[in-house]
């Protein structure tokens, strides 16, 4: 997978599979992008973006803790080195960057942009 575009990567007609730290980085990137309840095979997986971020007056301490805990739950991530959170109350959007250390000692970075989907009702607002 191309970490910048989230597209599958094909090399010489074959699907390229990631291994090692690149695979850990991909897992971290995907973890930061999965909404709670989004994956039909396990609706307990994901981050509670709708319930905690896309609401009126979100508690950013709770949001940050949830994202950090999700990142630490990625196999191969041993430590979170740095996080950057940029929340826009006007757009109710959040950009996240997580810098983590892997079990091999390498530093990886993953990013996610969380925005309100089209035709989405914000909790706590009249419909």
Could you give the count of Cα atoms lying within 13 Å of 43 in the half-sphere of its Cβ? 2
CA distance 75 to 66: 16
Of residues 41 and 119, more confidence is placed in 41
What mean pLDDT comes out for the span 29-54?
A: 89
Residue 123 lies in a domain: no
pLDDT (0 to 100) of residue 112: 92
The total number of structural domains that make up the chain: 1
Does residue 30 belong to any structural domain of this protein? yes
Mean pLDDT over all residues of the chain? 86
- In a domain, residue 124? The reply is no
Q: What is the mean pLDDT of residues 29-33?
A: 93
Nearest one of 97, 90, 96 to 116, comparing CA atoms: 90
In this structure, are residues 28 and 48 in contact, taking their beta carbons and an 8 Å threshold?
Answer: no
Residue 95: inside a domain: yes
CATH of the domain at 61: 3.10.450.40
Within-domain flag for 7: no
**DSSP single-letter state for residue 121:** P
Ranges assigned E (strand) in the chain? 10-11, 14-15, 77-88, 93-102, 107-114
Global pTM? 0.80
Q: Do the domain assignments include residue 6?
A: no
Full residue range of the structural domain in which residue 48 is found: 20-114
**Phi, psi values for residue 58, rounded to 5°:** -70, 150
Assess if residue 13 is contained within a domain. no
Q: Which residue has the tokens 């739950």?
A: 73
Do residues 98 and 110 touch, judged by C-beta distance below 8 A?
yes
pLDDT per residue as tens digits for the range 46-104: 999 888 887 888 899 999 999 999 999 999 999 999 999 999 888 888 999 999 999 99
Within 2-76, strands assigned E span 10-11, 14-15
% residues pLDDT > 90 (the chain): 54
């Amino acid at each position: 997978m191309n970490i910048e575009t989230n597209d599958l990567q094909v090399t010489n007609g074959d699907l390229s599979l990631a291994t090692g730290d690149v695979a850990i980085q991909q897992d971290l990137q995907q973890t930061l992008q999965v909404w709670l309840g989004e994956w039909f095979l396990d609706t307990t997986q994901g981050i509670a973006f709708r319930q905690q971020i896309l609401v009126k007056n979100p508690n950013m301490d709770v949001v940050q803790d949830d994202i950090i805990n999700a990142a630490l739950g990625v196999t191969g991530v041993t430590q979170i080195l740095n996080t950057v959170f940029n929340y826009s109350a006007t757009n109710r959007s959040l950009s996240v960057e997580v810098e983590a250390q892997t079990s091999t000692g390498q530093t990886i970075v993953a990013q996610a942009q969380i925005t309100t989907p089209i035709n989405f009702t914000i909790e706590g607002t009249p419909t």
